[in-house]
Amino acid sequence: MSAGTTTGGDRSRRGRLAERYRRRAPGEPRAVGYLYILPALIVYAVVLLFPFGQSVWLSFLHWDGLTRASYAGFSNYTQLFTDPDLRGAFWHAIVLLIFYSVIPVCIGLLLAAAMSRIRVRGMTFFRAVLFLPQVVAMVVSGVAWRAILAPDGLLNSVLRGIGLGSLARTWLGSYTFALPSVGTIGAWVGMGLCMVLFLAGAQRIPKELYEAARIDGAGAIREFFAVTLPGLRLEISVALTLTMISGLKNFDVVYVTTSGGPGTATTVPAYELYQRAFQTNQVGSAGAIGVALTVLIFLVTLLIGRLVEGKGEGKRA
């Protein structure tokens, strides 16, 4: 990323390097850079990095938040695999990723495929509308969707209205349907982000590629796999990363719509973390959830970055 700015150069000769620093820097002794960074670094380190370190420390303790803590070794981490509540929460998070990430990406691709064939009028309008769920507070979205999924809510009214009343149910109160219902809310939020990303990407794919594909006799499906999909490689990775991160740390929607219920049907790691740290006094265990979640997010980001590495390089700074 930053490699391109220091072109070539003999790295072994420090004197020349220092000379170049001086020439490239805008007329300041380069040490002044530290002063510019210092205020931000202090706030960032004290309020964010230091507590993160403390989280790691906490995750190795048994602590109820009040009395003296005792060393726990890795037990808080092994608990992630043995405690059925925690296993459930992480399992739900993985299921929700299908809704939060995979489905929005697929919807976005579907649209991008359709869009690649024509020039759409009113793009600005569609983009604004589709992106809107991203902008509204998750808490508000949760309340909005509760009204739709309620027993006498919009969804059930529509179902009854078109004679499918037998399908009507208490969506958020059902052991089977609560998790997919929460997932639908996530898909609704993530959909616009993916679409907007892919629409922008699809417009950048050279039209000649489509012409060429058509001359070669490729149908719509061939064309999609041969031209659109490779052309959107970078956008897909960005979309997957953003939606997966937001899916993994999802808390607001669950808190507002189901509170993890019915039973533990819709608990997620962040919800378990909140419960344990601030309701049931298992602070160490909560710390381990937080660290595990962070590692998971980090891995997802890294892995997706890896997958697209090599191709599509340099398209975006």
Residue 207 to residues 55, 119, 165, 176, Cα–Cα distance (Å): 51, 11, 48, 46
Site stretch for another protein (CB under 8 A), options 80-88, 159-167, 175-183, 277-285: 277-285
Smallest separation (angstroms) from another protein to the CB of 299: 10
> Considering the rule CB under 8 A, would residue 291 count as an interface residue with another protein?
yes
- Residues near another protein (CB under 8 A), total: 111
Residue 179 or 242: which CB sits closer to another protein?
242
- Assign 3-state DSSP to the chain and report helix, strand, coil percentages, each to 5: 70, 0, 25
How many CB atoms sit inside 10 A of residue 282's CB?
21
What string marks each residue from 228 to 267 as x (binds another protein by CB under 8 A) or -? ------x--xx--xx--x--xx-xx--xx-----------
> Considering the rule CB under 8 A, would residue 301 count as an interface residue with another protein?
yes
- Could you write out the DSSP letters of every residue in 139-151? HHHHHHHHHHHST
Site stretch for another protein (CB under 8 A), options 46-54, 70-78, 174-182, 224-232: 46-54
> Which of 62, 153, 177, 180 touches another protein (CB under 8 A)?
153
Smallest separation (angstroms) from another protein to the CB of 142: 9
> Which of 9, 13, 19, 24 touches another protein (CB under 8 A)?
24
Structure token digits, residue 106? 């697929």
> Which of 9, 13, 19, 47 touches another protein (CB under 8 A)?
47
Residue 264 or 281: which CB sits closer to another protein?
281
Q: Is 72:284 a contact under the CB 8 Å cutoff?
A: yes
Question: For residue 103, which of 196, 191, 225, 185 has the smallest C-alpha distance?
Answer: 191
Q: CA 254, CA 268: separation in Å to the nearest integer?
A: 8
Cα Rg of the chain (Å, integer): 25
Smallest separation (angstroms) from another protein to the CB of 284: 10
Question: For residue 67, which of 281, 273, 286, 276 has the smallest C-alpha distance?
Answer: 281
How many CB atoms sit inside 10 A of residue 69's CB?
16
Question: Looking only at residues 67 through 106 of this chain, which bind another protein when binding is defined by CB under 8 A?
Answer: none
Site stretch for another protein (CB under 8 A), options 72-80, 84-92, 110-118, 174-182: 110-118
Structure token digits, residue 91? 């399992």
> Considering the rule CB under 8 A, would residue 117 count as an interface residue with another protein?
yes
Look up residue 153 and give its DSSP letter: S
Question: Looking only at residues 121 through 150 of this chain, which bind another protein when binding is defined by CB under 8 A?
Answer: 124, 126-141, 143-148, 150
Q: Is 116:206 a contact under the CB 8 Å cutoff?
A: no
Question: Looking only at residues 185 through 224 of this chain, which bind another protein when binding is defined by CB under 8 A?
Answer: 188, 191-193, 195-197, 207, 214
Smallest separation (angstroms) from another protein to the CB of 194: 10
Smallest separation (angstroms) from another protein to the CB of 72: 15
Cis preceding-peptide flag for 151 (omega within 30 of 0): no
> Which of 89, 115, 178, 213 touches another protein (CB under 8 A)?
115
22, amino acid identity = R
